[in-house]
Structure 1
């Protein structure tokens, strides 16, 4: 049963409270047919599709830039968000072709060697008596029967259990499960649902990609090309603070005091930020739960620059898995002949750095890198960091379903009267950038049919 809901922070109040700040608002004419909230890939792609159909819209973006989690930090000249796509990503690749975006094929060195630093010792290749700590989750999860299709993940409630339980019944000890938390791209394998792993595995298997591609010039080149295709400008610095669905129309108010009225609103905002918006709207019970509680993975990247290739000096790969707070040291470059080094910290591990100032993060990272890779001493410098958990426009890198939350999925993505939902967290089949684009296409058909 649907009901009127007022959501702010963690509270849900009744109808009278919901209407009190909005009832006296002066009635205004519609500003547009469709109001899109969020200028990430899903919002931009939806705007692009609506323009091709000749429909009117306004696109609001809360920050001072477009692209969302496709983010090229020009101050450090690094992509800090999603950047890799498969050549089987149907929606994204169709856009790439329409925009004549130049791509770089990185398939051949996607699985380049990785050194292992464990228990105070650097291994160029893993030669310890125990299983390779970097491969523990893949060895264990690989024993499970995998899904048979891309959209099966939310339809199998019997598989919705803590990921750690799956790993444990396939032979991992509690100590090994602790190590998996370094490699797994989740907040905590003891809390996250195994559904995320099943979905990721199915996406890798069934999305038909044979090659892995990066955007030449960074993701900014792709986003900028898409924005240039739009006839209408994206309105930036429009942080949404309230949404009021009267039944006949929807009014949206922004932090700067401006307001917009439309027949339909499409929210591409992550639920991690939507839950802080005052909302007078008709949600079903599972939507309310999802908006308030859907998890988002915390990721902190610490980017480094180097004056010379220290990995050649010590004979170990530049990339490295470690059992230190730095977790994984990655090569994020799109070119064989360069190395863009970054420490990649996931989930609960980000709390170690969250309590530090940026200066302290920089000092700690250089000191620890010099300790575990002595050859790096005097050859690396701190470049910058991206903390997605603290980034106020997302508060996480991507949606991560906790145990029991996948059961909300089908209801949480339904239109709530005049409010529709897009974004990577609402995709039936895909992950990442393709999920964002897939969701935009779904909502496009909801709106025009």
Structure 2
């Protein structure tokens, strides 16, 4: 695992220059429906053209590496293996690549993310962006406007620190600065400990209490404490009471000091995963392929799968296999021999975050509700049933505006539950809209909902950490099997790519490749 705090600081300048040159500077599949408030055109998701099921005789030809999962982690693994001249095949359950990276587009010439919202500075995915010359843009700030106790605090200033200084009084801001300096020191110590393999005992001890409880002991101003909860809870998809203090500190690397900045792919983030798929070759990707069994033998790996388009069973063979799928998908595979008990302990004792996405199309005049002092206050962290309100993108038709609700935590788990209808979800969201923006209901034209598995985001509960021995064990080779995926590294998409770099390096070393 590469901890990203120092990495982000080291490559920020180079990435910023590269992204400017390019014109600018979360697999788990959702179920989507579109309950409409008023008759309107149906939306159409952007089609995926980058890969097709390979039905030729070469599909089941033995390769060096089989990659289970065609999301960001699986595609990035193939990308790295290609650099080393190692042969591979990606096995993806869905009829498309990208996993939780996908973009919904609409006839109104607007689009919004369905899953992954941004790529933060320091994310190694940005290195792939640079190499593939994928156009990027910066449309948001590091910190965002937020709501606390019914009051909106719009983002002001040019930097995170200027914004924080605008919402705290001078004495409170001094307390914040002292805490921020402490966090920066802790992050350096965490990174150094992880890199050396000798995490200090006093840091590992922080996994014994929640991040929320740890924060209460810090000398933070009340509004500053609420700001931390408002900012970080959506990032990990669960309340800060449910993650260990050590991992809360690790997640704060995005916001310490001047903080990282979010980056977005022009036209939608799925354009990056499609570009990677094109680069690695669609002939090396098998879609509609549901892996059922993983057999690790003395000479290599045999993977059995079902083609979901016709239910034909297939067998694939390779020297090694990478499991680059969400944590909960591991429970759907049968392993022979059975994985070790420590691996099952590591998997079962991890926690999770949840998210649910709602795209809301409104009359363009609705922009007045989030325009404060002449400026657009989105993104807006509501801390409630509306989640984070992101602005949609696109040229638009001049008549409509699209917003994207990224709802996390308990609200997302409730919306994701199959015990209620989407009509019930819409009713709850409409009520919260009216509470937050009185009078907005008459300007809503349609909703599009995307439901995800409730364990979509990895997290580490009290008593666990991404830095503990169970996590370290997951990152090692297990026979010819390697665990990739974001859940082995972090709660963000950077973990998906860091995992890809790790497993590809491990395999290259075994195969004697550069």
DSSP 3-state at the match of 1:288? helix
Give how far 1:367 is off.
3.4
2:437 to 357, 373, 376: 373
The answer to whether 1:382 aligns with 2:382 is no
Is structure 2 residue 198 aligned with structure 1 residue 158? no
Structure-2 change in CA distance of 1:172 and 1:211 (3 Å): closer
Structure 1 residue aligned with 2:458: 399
- Where does residue 289 of structure 2 map in the other structure? 238
Change in 2 beyond 3 A, CA 1:292/1:112: closer
1:329, 1:341 within 8 Å by CA — same for their partners in 2? Answer: no
Q: Which residue of 2 aligns with 1:80?
A: 114
State the secondary structure of the residue aligned to 1:374. coil
The answer to whether the 8 Å contact 1:269/1:423 transfers is yes
Give the gaps of 5 or more residues in structure 2.
Answer: 1-59, 156-166, 308-312, 510-514
Cα distance change of structure 1 residues 293 and 242 upon mapping to structure 2, 3 Å threshold? farther
Q: How far off its partner does 1:442 sit?
A: 1.5
The 8 Å contact of residues 314 and 375 in structure 1, kept in 2 or not, is answered as no
2:353 to 285, 297, 315: 297
Residues 328-356 of structure 1: CA deviation (Å, up to 9, x unaligned)? 34124457999642333322232432342
The CA distance in 2 between the partners of 1:200 and 1:277, in whole Å, is 30
Shift of 1:149: 5.1
Change (3 A) 1:66 1:413: same
Residue ranges of structure 1 left out of the alignment (5+ in a row): 1-28
Show the counterpart of 2:478.
Answer: 416
User: Aligned-pair distance for 1:324?
Assistant: 4.8
User: In structure 2, the residue corresponding to 1:259 is in which secondary structure?
Assistant: strand
In 2: Cα distance, 1:141 partner to 1:264 partner: 46
Q: Counterparts of 1:444 and 1:305 in 2: how far apart (Å)? A: 42
Task: Kindly indicate whether the alpha-carbon contact (under 8 Å) linking 1:252 and 1:260 is maintained by their aligned counterparts in 2.
Answer: yes
Are 1:95 and 2:128 matched, yes or no?
yes
Residues 308/417 of structure 1: CA separation in 2 closer, same or farther (3 Å cut) = same
Aligned pairs for 1:248-267 (under 5 A) are: 248-256=299-307, 257-267=313-323
Q: Give the structure 2 partner of residue 191 of structure 1.
A: 242
2:452 and 2:243 map into 1 onto residues whose CA distance is 18
| Distance in 1 between residues matched to 2:289 and 2:179, nearest whole Å | 43
1:50 is paired with a residue whose SS is helix
Q: Write the distance in 2 (CA, Å) between the matches of 1:402 and 1:276.
A: 23
Instruction: Report deviation, 1:218.
Output: 0.4
| Separation in 2, partners of 1:141, 1:336 | 42
Counterparts in 2 of 1:52-131, with a 5 A limit?
Answer: 52-74=83-105, 77-89=111-123, 91-106=124-139, 109-111=141-143, 113-114=145-146, 116=147, 118=149, 123=152
Q: 2-side partners of 1:372 and 1:399: how far apart?
A: 30
Q: 1:405 to 1:239 in 2, by over 3 A?
A: farther
The 1:323–1:46 alpha-carbon spacing in structure 2 relative to 1, beyond 3 Å, is closer
1: CA distance between counterparts of 2:447 and 2:464? 38
**How far has the Cα of 1:43 moved from its partner?**
1.1
- SS state at 1:148 partner: helix
Question: Residues 202-259 of structure 1, C-alpha deviation per residue, up to 9 Å, x if partnerless?
Answer: 35559x9865321001012111111111233311111222211123222212244222
TM-score between both structures, scaled by the size of structure 1: 0.77
- The count of residues paired between Structure 1 and Structure 2 equals 400
Describe how 1:128-277 pairs up with structure 2 within 5 A.
Answer: 142=180, 146-148=186-188, 151=191, 155=199, 156-160=203-207, 161-170=209-218, 184-185=233-234, 186=236, 187-205=238-256, 211-231=261-281, 232-256=283-307, 257-277=313-333
Q: How many angstroms apart in 2 are the aligned matches of 1:251 and 1:422?
A: 18
SS in 2 for 1:83: coil
Q: Deviations over 1:342-389 (max 9, x none)?
A: 333322232432342112212332233124312313112333122333
SS of the residue 2:407 aligns to: strand
The aligned counterpart of 2:500 is 440
Equivalent pair of 1:271/1:292 in contact (CA under 8 Å): no
Find the counterpart in structure 1 of residue 78 from structure 2.
Answer: 47
Kept in 2: contact 1:303–1:341 (CA 8 A) = yes
Which residue in the other structure is 1:7 paired with? none
Q: SS where residue 70 of structure 1 aligns?
A: coil
TM-score normalised by length of structure 2: 0.68
Asked if the contact 1:86/1:212 (under 8 Å) is kept, the reply is: yes
In structure 1, what is the Cα distance between the partners aligned to 2:230 and 2:253?
Answer: 22
Give, in whole Å, the separation in 2 of the partners of 1:446 and 1:242. 23
Q: Secondary structure at the residue paired with 2:295? A: strand
Q: Measure, in 2, the Cα distance between the counterparts of 1:191 and 1:294.
A: 11
* Cα separation, partners in 2 of 1:387 and 1:269, compared to 1, 3 Å: same
